[in-house]
Amino acid sequence: MELVLTRVYKREGTNGTLTLNGHFVCFTLELPWKENKKNISCIPEGKYQLKARFSPKLQNHLEVLDVFGRSRILIYPAQNAMEELRGGIAPVKQLTGIGKGIYTRLAHEKLLSIFHQTAEGDEKLVLNINSNRYEYLRQIQKTHA
């Protein structure tokens, strides 16, 4: 199964829309694009497999596998990309600005649920990251209609 993350890049951060089979899942926050530099850049566009992960600090979360030149790229709750992320992805229910959002725990739980439902069916969940300003704007309008 494939989650599609459609990004819009800005100097202050990267906002995205996450969809599954064309249906809105949540928005995302990431650091701005800075040539894939560790801890200060979002990861390159492409297709990546997701894996469940646990740590005492973040509890249950997801890891993005096989990112060129990078490791331990995590998907976890955060409200401010520049202050809380080190190259990972934060799901949010509502965007409040560039690289900022709210209701991150709700969005994160929804994403974990999708991952675990997919895993129960012996499917792998793939994250397809791309950029398409038109699709991003269409998703925002659809969720606020």
* pLDDT tens digits, 15-52: 999 999 999 999 999 999 999 999 999 999 999 999 99
Residue ranges of domains in the chain: 2-143
- Level-2 CATH architecture, domain 2-143: Beta Barrel (2.40)
Contacts of 39 (CB under 8 A, 6+ apart): 86, 87
DSSP-assigned letter for residue 67: -
**Strand-strand pairing, 126-131 and 73-75:** unpaired
Look at the block and give the residue holding tokens 């701005």.
32
What is the arithmetic mean of pLDDT over 71-76?
Answer: 96
Report the DSSP beta bridge partners of residue 90: 29
pTM of structure: 0.88
